[in-house]
Amino acid sequence: MPERLEREALAAPALEVAPALVGQVLVRALPGGRRLAARIVEVEAYEQDDPASHAHRGPTDRNRTMFGPPGHLYVYFTYGMHWCMNVVTGPAGQGCAVLLRAGEPLEGIDEMRRRRPGRPVRELCAGPARWTRAFGVDGRLDGADVIDGREIWLERGPGASRVVAAPRVGIRRAADRPWRFLDPGSPALSRPAPPLREPTAQAARRRPPRLGPDATAAR
């Protein structure tokens, strides 16, 4: 029997919930009943006291859902054409959330591919806006309950053999915070896995630390 996640698991800071969501499963029941599912392989944490977060300047009409109770979907529109989805975390009133950036398609692949003819399976949900498109998620699902809801919800998944941290993508403020979490073994990431943050002794020998700025970034 598929087991849904519990709301308490999301009632913690986004920074804590984010790595735990990697390896869980997002399920979508389309209007008409078809079921889509993907294993979460890449997410980003956004805290309230976080210059990169929509919640940073307090509640507005757009970000209202972020300030509500945990376990709901915060969906926003950007770049004039894309939808992105987050899972709201933390206590009500807090304004923190986890952006769902990439997933590995598990069920309903034909239905996803119908929306993206000619795409390899690993690319169908590899990117926050690709994923909402594949799953038929838009602003109408803003605020949906991902614990007890019937349109989209979270189930216990197989987990991930590893979860690594990396800088978040596409932001300017607080760009140095390594608040993106991903399964480096997944073929469905939104971009290739970054270099390991803690290099092996062998790698350290090959590329010794330098004095002064190091241009190498984990991307």
Partner DNA sequence: CCATAGATCGGCT
Partner DNA sequence: GCCGATCTATGGC
Q: Footprint of DNA on this chain (CB under 7 A)? A: 44, 46, 52-55, 57, 60-63, 66, 74, 77-82, 84, 86, 97, 99, 116, 127-131, 168-172, 190
CB of 89 to DNA, least distance (A): 11
Phi-psi region of 126 (alpha: psi -120 to 50; beta: other; left: phi over 0): beta
Q: Are 185 and 162 in contact (CB under 8 A)?
A: yes
CB of 77 to DNA, least distance (A): 5
Q: What are φ and ψ of residue 4, in 5° steps?
A: -75, 150
Decide whether 2 or 120 has the Cβ nearer to DNA: 120
9 versus 100: smaller Cβ distance to DNA: 100
Measured over the CA atoms of residue 49, residue 50, residue 53 and residue 54, the dihedral's sign is: positive
- The least CB distance from residue 53 to DNA, in Å, is 5
Nearest approach in angstroms of CB 46 to DNA is 4
Least Cα distance to 84 among 121, 130, 30 occurs for 130
Between 4 and 82, whose beta carbon lies closer to DNA? 82
* Residue whose CB is less far from DNA, 3 or 87: 87
**Cβ proximity of 109 and 123 under 8 Å:** no
